[in-house]
Copies of this chain bind each other. A is one copy, B any other.
Amino acid sequence: MIIDCHGHYTTAPKALRAWRDAQIENLNTPELGPKVSDLKISDDEIRESIELNQLARMKERGIDVTIFSPQASFMTHHIGDFNTSATWAAICNELCYRVTQLFPKNFIGAAMLPQSPGVDTSTCLPEMRKCINEYGFVAINLNPDPSGGHWRDPPLGHSYWHPIYLEMIALDVPAMIHVSTSCNDCFHTTGAHYLNADTTAFMQCLTSDLFAKFPALRFLIPHGGGAVPYHWGRFRGLAREMNIPDIHQKLLNNIYFDTCVYHQPGINLLTEVIPAKNILFASETFGAVKGIDPDTGFYFDDTRRYLKAVDGLSQQEKEMIFEGNARKVFSRLNARFPA
């Protein structure tokens, strides 16, 4: 079985965006609507949005299951207040839940949280519990910068985040650390902010005692870990300067990297420097890069192809990356998809 641990509902019917636009228009007058019930999306519309897109690609590429969450760039936690985010997260999660119900063999959910800059993170717990316990989701997406490129909330080692960590452990779910749209003109969303956030999150973990405090915590750092594997020597050296003799011991029982790296040399490097046990297959298909690479004739985001071509991995290691590691990190997967 091949499990893609990083998919977003980027192809949701247009009514979703229209609803969000209306919500933003009435940010200061929410009594003018829209109501949650104003959003009308039929099962047929959902089916079509998936069958023609994500599911078609999964079939072409032999991918069995995708861990599926609301569109990351659409979370925009910086907009409005907690109530704005709470309503919006509930709508987006419910839509993903419907996808998982319509395609129960191919999709399982990961929850967007109703984060809002500066707001106590325990406000996220009801939505989180609903998604895990009622919708059968297996993970959350945690935005380390709800301010959207201004980085005004505390780093991940800070107690600000503890309510979410405690609940993750209680529910036995991992978090993918994933920012949303940048509203800072300096950062292009998918070309700079996403990758920067991955590197930043890794370094926040290295400089904190987070995993000593919460040894059961599991973080997936997406986009191949940002700049981290490419600069693995730098990070190993920085760790030693901080009197952390073994970066593996400090971080690699808790941190995992996905394979959303869109060329062969990048996947080669990732699998050369990061232990196979810490790598999870992912493609983020219908994400930042949708086109075909003219140099290869294949989709940039067809990461399965790159992984298959890696020389330095054994068959057993490839199976770990394609399936086994996901079953460990997203442990709730196993109930729905027995090995």
Contacts and interface: CB of A to CB of B under 8 A. Distances in A.
A154 interface: yes
B224 A200 contact: no
B200 A237 contact: no
Interface in A198-223: 199-200, 202-204, 206-207, 223
A186 B204 contact: yes
Interface of A: 144-145, 149-151, 153-155, 184-188, 190-192, 195-196, 199-200, 202-204, 206-207, 223-224, 226-227, 229-238, 240-241, 261-263, 265-266, 268-269, 272-273, 288-291, 293, 300-301
B185 A192 contact: no
A229 to B, nearest CB: 7
Nearest to A198: B227
30 contacts: A149-B151, A151-B187, A153-B186, A154-B185, A155-B186, A186-B204, A188-B204, A188-B206, A191-B235, A191-B238, A192-B196, A192-B202, A192-B203, A195-B226, A195-B227, A196-B199, A199-B227, A224-B231, A227-B230, A231-B266, A232-B265, A234-B263, A237-B289, A237-B291, A238-B289, A241-B290, A263-B273, A265-B269, A265-B273, A269-B269
Nearest to A227: B227
B233 A263 contact: yes
Contacts of A300: 233-234, 236-237
Contacts of A291: 237, 240-241
Contacts of A263: 232-234, 236, 273
The 3 closest A-B pairs by CB, nearest first: A233-B263, A237-B289, A233-B262
A149 B155 CA distance: 13
A195 B207 CA distance: 16
Contacts of A226: 195, 227
Contacts of A150: 150-151
